[in-house]
């Protein structure tokens, strides 16, 4: 069942651009606000059913944990909002590249933030990714900022979340609750100005906006359930399902431009990921502690 849960999570993350495309005429910030408001409603129901509110209350007794979660809230809001913006401005291919780069960004964060040392294969993988970014920059005349900000924001989010004593759902509850006042104020302002999408653009749009909470929470809950039942090495390989699906959607369904520079850059990234995965697999075979290999060695916060 664990494999099914985790696979289901990545499949849902892979097709989510189709969902946001159906809301393409709604401003990205407004969609993000609905995602936060209805996401909080859904995880609140989940927390109630599972009887886990005490875990959230315990978080507030640890000031450093609260500070780390507030910082992670900023990074996940940037990540969510930018992804929606990218999809709704026809840049799905950029999001695919970003999430392919994500594991290599994690390696770089380990180098920069945690002073870790990279082995030769890791340096090769990171160098190939850098070359891919340079090629796209030369081709477009500007940095592929979406493809960089997405993995960096998620990498920093993940790094912060590794420092706290709170699992995914408890953390998501904190984050959506922290963002709720801003999101609710934005939606109220839109409604008072008469330009809000909810209630003004038909039942179909209303349902899509309300269901944005499920789009946020359900894959995360499935991933959490799956991660408890499968090896981390398996989850590491499954993570490529989502960017592969978004890549295919961008090229085959959304008909986004795919130049020679894109082809070369994606090929370099795929080669880098093969090198990274082979290196990771060899280290997993020789190390008893899977978590220490797959995750940066981030010390838990002591409050």
Which one has a higher pLDDT value, 40 or 122?
40
d(CA 236, CA 240): 8
* 58-84 tens-digit pLDDT: 999 999 999 999 999 999 999 999 999
The confidence score (pLDDT) of residue 233 equals 61
- Quote the percentage of the chain above a pLDDT of 70: 91
Q: How many Cα neighbours within 13 Å face the side chain of 151?
A: 24
Neighbours of 75 (CB within 10 A): 20
CA distance 257 to 83: 18
The average pLDDT across 236-250 equals 89
- Per-residue pLDDT band for 163 (boundaries 50, 70, 90) equals confident
Provide the residue ranges of all domains of the chain, joining segments of one domain with +.
2-294
**pLDDT of residue 257 exceeding 60:** yes
**Stated pTM of the model:** 0.88
């Amino acid at each position: 069942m664990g494999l099914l849960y985790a696979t289901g999570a990545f499949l849902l993350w892979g097709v989510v651009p189709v969902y946001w495309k159906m809301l393409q005429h709604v401003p990205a910030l407004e969609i993000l606000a609905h995602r936060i408001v209805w996401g909080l409603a859904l995880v609140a129901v989940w927390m109630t059913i599972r009887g886990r509110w005490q875990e959230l209350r315990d978080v507030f007794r640890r000031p450093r944990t609260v500070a780390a979660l507030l910082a992670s809230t900023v990074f996940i809001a940037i990540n969510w909002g930018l992804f929606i913006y990218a999809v709704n401005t026809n840049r799905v291919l950029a999001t695919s590249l970003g999430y392919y780069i994500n594991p290599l960004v994690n390696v770089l964060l380990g180098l920069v933030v945690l002073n870790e040392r990279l082995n030769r294969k890791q340096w090769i993988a990171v160098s190939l990714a850098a070359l891919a970014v340079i090629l796209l920059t030369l081709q477009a005349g500007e940095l592929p900022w979406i493809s960089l900000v997405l993995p960096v924001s998620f990498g920093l989010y993940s790094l912060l979340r590794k420092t706290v004593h709170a699992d995914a759902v408890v953390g998501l509850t904190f984050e959506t609750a922290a963002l709720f006042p801003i999101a609710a104020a934005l939606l109220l302002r839109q409604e008072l100005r008469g330009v809000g999408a909810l209630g003004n653009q038909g039942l179909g749009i209303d349902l899509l906006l309300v269901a944005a909470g499920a789009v946020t929470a359900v894959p995360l809950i499935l991933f959490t359930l799956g991660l408890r039942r499968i090896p981390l090495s398996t989850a590491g390989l499954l993570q490529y399902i989502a960017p592969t699906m978004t890549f295919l959607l961008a090229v085959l369904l959304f008909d986004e431009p795919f130049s020679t520079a894109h082809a070369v850059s994606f090929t370099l990234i795929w080669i880098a990921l093969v090198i990274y995965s082979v290196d990771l697999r060899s280290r997993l075979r020789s190390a008893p502690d899977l978590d220490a290999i797959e995750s940066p060695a981030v010390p838990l916060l002591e409050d």
